[in-house]
Amino acid sequence: MVDIRPPATILQFSATINSRRPEDKMREFVIAYYLEDQAFSVAEKRVPNSGFGSGQFLKKTVVNNPKTGKPYEPREVYVGAVIDMGGWQFTLQEASEDALKVMEAHSDVFTKCDLNELLKITRERMTVSSPECLVMFQKYDTRKRGYVTLAEVQEVLLKCGIDFGDQEFLTLFRRYQVRGIDFFDYQSFVRNLV
């Protein structure tokens, strides 16, 4: 019999384990989150000289969020999130490109990937006007190209009173990223704040 079900949607993240043990600091993990049944699986990556091998760390299983007592919902899974799995806490560090595309395409579910919401929050929290924000960006743009680096964006946003989490900042940066290079088109960003 032919299986005609669509393929499962799996979000993959690199992660670190939150531990006080010094030997755990070098460990690296890949966490998969299965949207269809809200389950996780965890694999450990091989890191030379860490003392730990690679392989399956946790089989696919549904994990309850200790704060809610219910399975982790998609909106609770994002870059920067801390996921508690039976006493082990993992911080999601990076998402695969495919995971980011799914999250951005479904920003109604993954609210930290909703550009319109992020722009609204920026307008509400900004401690300076849009023209003042533009001037701050221009101070970093000494060549007058219309874009700045990742670190410069973070500095300007902090000066403007905006302190986003990892996923929100990543979403903002990706939406205003200059094609093919890691620069931020601040002119388009500021135009959208008006």
pLDDT of 5: 55
pLDDT of 85: 93
pLDDT digits (tens, 9 = 90+) for 108-162: 999 999 999 999 999 999 999 999 999 999 999 999 999 999 999 999 999 999 9
Type of residue found at 99: A
What are the residue boundaries of the structural domains of the chain, listed by start? 10-111, 114-193
- Fold classified for 114-193: Recoverin; domain 1 (1.10.238)
Count Cβ neighbours within 10 Å for each residue of 63-96 and write b for 16 or more, e otherwise. beeeeeeeebebebbbbebebebeebebbbeebe
Asked whether 165 and 105 are in contact (CB, 8 A), the reply is no
Asked whether 41 and 60 are in contact (CB, 8 A), the reply is yes
Q: Which of 133, 149, 127 is nearest to 193 (CA)?
A: 133
pLDDT of 71: 97
Q: What is the 3-state secondary structure (H, E, C) of the chain?
A: CCCCCCCCCEEEEEEEEECCCHHHCCCEEEEEEECCCCEEEEEEECCCCCCCCCEEEEEEEECECCCCCCECCHHHCCCCCEEEECCEEEEEEEECHHHHHHHHHCCCCCHHHCHHHHHHHHHHHCCCCHHHHHHHHHHHCCCCCCEEEHHHHHHHHHHCCCCCCHHHHHHHHHHCECCCCCEEEHHHHHHHHC
Contacts of 71 (CB under 8 A, 6+ apart): 38, 39, 62, 63, 64, 65
Low-confidence ranges of the chain (pLDDT < 50): none
Count the neighbouring beta carbons within 10 Å of the beta carbon of residue 39.
Answer: 18
pLDDT of 129: 93
Q: For domain 10-111, give its CATH number from 2.30.29.170, 3.30.930.10, 2.40.50.140, 3.40.50.720.
A: 2.30.29.170
pLDDT of 22: 85
Contacts of 139 (CB under 8 A, 6+ apart): none
- Fold match flag (10-111 vs 114-193): no
